[in-house]
Amino acid sequence: MRIRLLKQFTQADITLDRLKSKNLLNDRDFAAYWIQLREKHRPRSIKALNQELYRLGVGTEITTPLLDELDDYEIALRNGKKIINRNAHLNQKDFTNKMFRHLQRHGFNYAISRNVSVQLWEKLSNPSDS
């Protein structure tokens, strides 16, 4: 942030101090907010969230405690449930393959993607068991 401000303003340090004193530059709050938004609107794996936050300049010492509270399997399940009806017309093989690829694109590992795909197929094919 300091480097970006220095390119446009000569008094970057004063500006940064003001923002910090008003608690407007708080990496922990930003990371918590980002994770909350991602969980709600565009769920990603813990690994993908960590990479996103790193690219945004938030250090691992801040993200690790926040991400430790999350469960990749539950996030993958929520992610899959968001699109389950889109693929309800497919047979088992096509459904599980499509769901598997979707979860992989969102950063989930092989085991989680496969297990969630199978679990969601079972839920879709046996709605009374839910």
Convert the pLDDT of each residue in 26-72 to its tens digit. Answer: 889 989 999 999 989 989 999 999 999 999 889 999 999 999 999 99
Whether residue 13 contacts residue 3, with contact meaning beta carbons closer than 8 Å, is answered with no
Q: What is the mean pLDDT of residues 76-86?
A: 92
Q: What is the Cα–Cα distance from 54 to 20, expressed in whole angstroms?
A: 20
pTM for this structure? Answer: 0.78
What pLDDT, on a 0 to 100 scale, did the predictor assign at position 126?
85
Whether residue 84 contacts residue 120, with contact meaning beta carbons closer than 8 Å, is answered with yes
89: tokens are: 């017309």
Mean pLDDT of the chain: 88
Q: What is the Cα–Cα distance from 58 to 67, expressed in whole angstroms?
A: 13
- Report how far apart, in Å, the C-alpha atoms of 80 and of each of 52, 103, 107, 112 are: 21, 7, 13, 11
Handedness of CA 87, 92, 95, 100 (dihedral sign): positive
**Does residue 2 surpass a pLDDT of 90?**
no
